[in-house]
Amino acid sequence: MTIYIDQHSYHYEMENLVRLFFPNEKIVTASGIPENLSLPCVITSVSNSEGKAVIFTRVCINDFDKQSSTEVNNDDPDFEKTAERAMAVCLYELLCELTGKCQPWGILTGVRPIKLFRRLSEKNGEQYAKDYFEKELLVSKEKTELSAMTEKYERKILALSRPESYSLYVSIPFCPTRCSYCSFVSQTVEKTKKLIQPYFELLCKELVYTAKIVKDCHLRLESVYIGGGTPTTLSAEQLKVLIDTIRINYDMSSCREFTVEAGRPDTIDEEKLQAIYSGGADRISINPQTLNDSVLEVIGRKHTSEQTIKAYELAVKTGFKHINTDLIAGLPTDTLPSFVSTLDRICRLNPASITVHTLALKRSSRLTLQGQGVQTDGAGCAADMLRYCEQKLTGSGYHPYYLYRQTRMEGNLENVGWSAEGFDGIYNVFVMDETHTIIGCGAGAVTKLKVPGGEELSRIFNYKYPYEYISGFDEMLKRKEQVREFYDKLS
Ligand code: SF4
């Protein structure tokens, strides 16, 4: 499908919008409007004249050929934003008419709807934010209410951050096997076994080196997150050394949360849990994704639901109070009754928090490469799964404390972190809101430097793959000096 872009710069937004309705379609953009259109196509244009601009959209797909236009005052200081939104609304309405379905998040395609909701709320109050979501962005009432509820809890967490705050992210990019929906840089243990020990040793060195920099910059540590990949692919001894390296070199007195993503239940044992717990990590994430064994097999996770339950019980026995479990709605072959059964069983375990993701299929995932893109017919099912989650979890004493969206999500839905009172995952909120600086260590980690009170982020990229991380380690340490330069300039 071709999207013609004439006299405007909103091609990115228009492409994202079309993709909401045609997730598996190959879309190209072209400048100008030729005489002979390449079909199927979408035409978008802006024609400026004195004092006004005409926003025009036309959709020619199969037998459908309709157009829509509106006028915007081009003297308006916010003209570009208003015109872009007006174009999105015109196009959205045509696409709804063509496909016979609307999107739960309307014309909103951004990943951080809660950040936008908060800005609107701070400007003109919560009711204004709700009205703006529903009337201007065409977000459904259901998602508007969810946004308002999430923002209320998120706000309390954001208030904990100070100008000198930062969080630390540590990457362990290894997994036992690759899940079929995964697009991360994570490498399977089988292929990279030899790299784990040298990688691990250099990671500890990077942590020590970086600790000195953050100390010199007088930064205050709020949270630590060891993620991946699957950090529990490391041995108990490696986990102990890693956590000790962090504890000894960083000032943990201000640290409010220390998470280790245990991820795959088949990598968890008593010794590893003990190493994590006695090292001082207080939050652990055990991620079943589903408790349906046949779905687990389809998505390439080589563990059973029984292993998840055992790993969970072992974590409780070890002493963990904050155990998070991740689930995914919309997995291939999963059904509403099976998802309901998974969530009900998870709730019986009484975890402190439950993060419910919606399946998002990036281009590089095995499912996409095998030609199984986002299932448009599965979208309704994923929506029903999320509806059940909201009803079940609010009724079981959980609240939504963070929410974000991704591109290519089943049904264009969302990911929501639900927690029991006192068990919000604060790192998740800080990183998604881009509240303060995130210092990243390890392969694929990105350091994001934030000027307090500002909006811009300066990024420092670590090498992506373990072999590059190992061979380019010295260069990468040099890059870390940019953290010092950044804060020197601020002082
Ligand atoms: S556990 Fe996570 S990072 Fe590892 S392969 Fe599966 S989805 Fe990817």
Asked if residue 34 is part of any domain, the answer here is yes
Nearest CA to ligand 1 atom 3: 229
Same domain, 358 and 414: yes
Report the pocket of ligand 1 as residue ranges, CB < 6 Å: 175, 178-179, 182, 184, 186, 228-230, 263-264
Which of 68, 99, 130 lies at the terminal end of a domain, its last residue? 99
Contacts of 207 (CB under 8 A, 6+ apart): 170, 242, 245, 246, 249, 441
Same domain, 300 and 417: yes
CA of 369 to the centre of ligand 1 (A): 16
Q: Which of 174, 175, 295, 465 to mutate to test the pocket of ligand 1 (most atoms within 8 A of CB)?
A: 175
116-129 tens-digit pLDDT: 999 999 999 999 99
Lowest mean pLDDT of 140-144, 394-398, 407-411, 458-462, name the range: 407-411
pTM: 0.93
pLDDT at 103: 94
Same domain, 82 and 61: yes
Nearest CA to ligand 1 atom 8: 182
Nearest CA to ligand 1 atom 7: 182
- Cα distance between residue 15 and residue 313, in whole Å: 46
> How does DSSP classify residue 111?
S
Which atom of ligand 1 sits closest to the CA of residue 181?
Answer: 7
pLDDT at 239: 98
User: What average pLDDT score do residues 431-460 get?
Assistant: 95
Nearest CA to ligand 1 atom 2: 229
In this structure, how many other beta carbons lie within 10 angstroms of the beta carbon of residue 242?
A: 23
- Asked whether 403 and 416 are in contact (CB, 8 A), the reply is yes
Same domain, 174 and 42: no
Which of 77, 99, 121 lies at the terminal end of a domain, its last residue? 99
CA of 470 to the centre of ligand 1 (A): 21
Q: What one-letter code names the amino acid at 353?
A: S
First-to-last C-alpha distance (Å) of the chain: 51
- Asked whether 392 and 400 are in contact (CB, 8 A), the reply is no
Residue with tokens 């020990």: 197
Which atom of ligand 1 sits closest to the CA of residue 183?
Answer: 8
Q: Is the pLDDT of residue 139 over 80?
A: yes
Lowest mean pLDDT of 53-57, 173-177, 214-218, name the range: 173-177
Q: What is the total count of domains within the chain?
A: 3
CA of 34 to the centre of ligand 1 (A): 45
Q: Is the pLDDT of residue 147 over 90?
A: yes
pLDDT at 179: 87
pLDDT at 371: 64
Asked if residue 473 is part of any domain, the answer here is yes
User: What average pLDDT score do residues 376-389 get?
Assistant: 81
Nearest CA to ligand 1 atom 5: 178
Same domain, 56 and 78: yes
CA of 263 to the centre of ligand 1 (A): 8
Q: Is the pLDDT of residue 380 over 80?
A: no
Q: Residue 92: exposed, middle, or buried by beta-carbon count in 10 A (0-12, 13-18, 19+)?
A: buried
**147 or 455, higher pLDDT:** 147
| Phi then psi dihedrals of residue 318, to 5 deg | -65, -25
CA of 229 to the centre of ligand 1 (A): 5
CA of 188 to the centre of ligand 1 (A): 9
Q: Is the pLDDT of residue 187 over 70?
A: no
Q: Is the pLDDT of residue 375 over 60?
A: no
pLDDT at 411: 85
Asked if residue 489 is part of any domain, the answer here is no
Q: Which of 171, 174, 177, 186 to mutate to test the pocket of ligand 1 (most atoms within 8 A of CB)?
A: 186
Which atom of ligand 1 sits closest to the CA of residue 264?
Answer: 1
230-270 tens-digit pLDDT: 999 999 999 999 999 999 999 999 999 999 999 899 999 99
CA of 366 to the centre of ligand 1 (A): 12
CA of 295 to the centre of ligand 1 (A): 15
69-121 tens-digit pLDDT: 999 999 989 999 999 999 999 999 999 999 999 999 999 988 999 999 999 99
Same domain, 249 and 294: yes
Which atom of ligand 1 sits closest to the CA of residue 188?
Answer: 5
To the nearest whole number, what is the mean pLDDT of the chain?
93
- Sign, CA dihedral 9-15-21-25, equals positive
Nearest CA to ligand 1 atom 6: 179
Asked if residue 176 is part of any domain, the answer here is yes
Q: Is the pLDDT of residue 374 over 70?
A: no
pLDDT at 198: 96
pLDDT at 205: 98
Q: Which of 287, 376, 364 is nearest to 330 (CA)?
A: 376
CA of 293 to the centre of ligand 1 (A): 17
Same domain, 149 and 131: yes
CA 231 to chain CA centroid, nearest Å: 19
Which of 70, 99, 128 lies at the terminal end of a domain, its last residue? 99
Same domain, 169 and 217: yes
User: What average pLDDT score do residues 323-339 get?
Assistant: 94
Q: Is the pLDDT of residue 367 over 80?
A: no
| Confidence category of residue 180, pLDDT binned at 50, 70, 90 | confident
224: domain CATH number?
3.80.30.20
Asked if residue 240 is part of any domain, the answer here is yes
pLDDT at 372: 59
Same domain, 153 and 164: no
Half-sphere exposure of 120 (CA within 13 A, CB side): 20
| Confidence category of residue 366, pLDDT binned at 50, 70, 90 | confident
Residues forming beta bridges with residue 175, ordered by sequence position: 188
Same domain, 296 and 208: yes
Asked if residue 437 is part of any domain, the answer here is yes
Asked if residue 432 is part of any domain, the answer here is yes
Q: Which of 184, 188, 234, 362 to mutate to test the pocket of ligand 1 (most atoms within 8 A of CB)?
A: 184
Domain span including residue 34: 2-99
Same domain, 371 and 457: yes
Asked if residue 490 is part of any domain, the answer here is no
Task: Look at residue 301 and give its three-state secondary structure.
Answer: coil
- Asked whether 410 and 360 are in contact (CB, 8 A), the reply is yes
In 367-432, the DSSP E strands lie at 398-404, 415-420
Same domain, 82 and 140: no
pLDDT at 185: 62
pLDDT at 373: 53
CA of 179 to the centre of ligand 1 (A): 6
CA of 325 to the centre of ligand 1 (A): 14
**406 or 148, higher pLDDT:** 148
CA of 228 to the centre of ligand 1 (A): 8
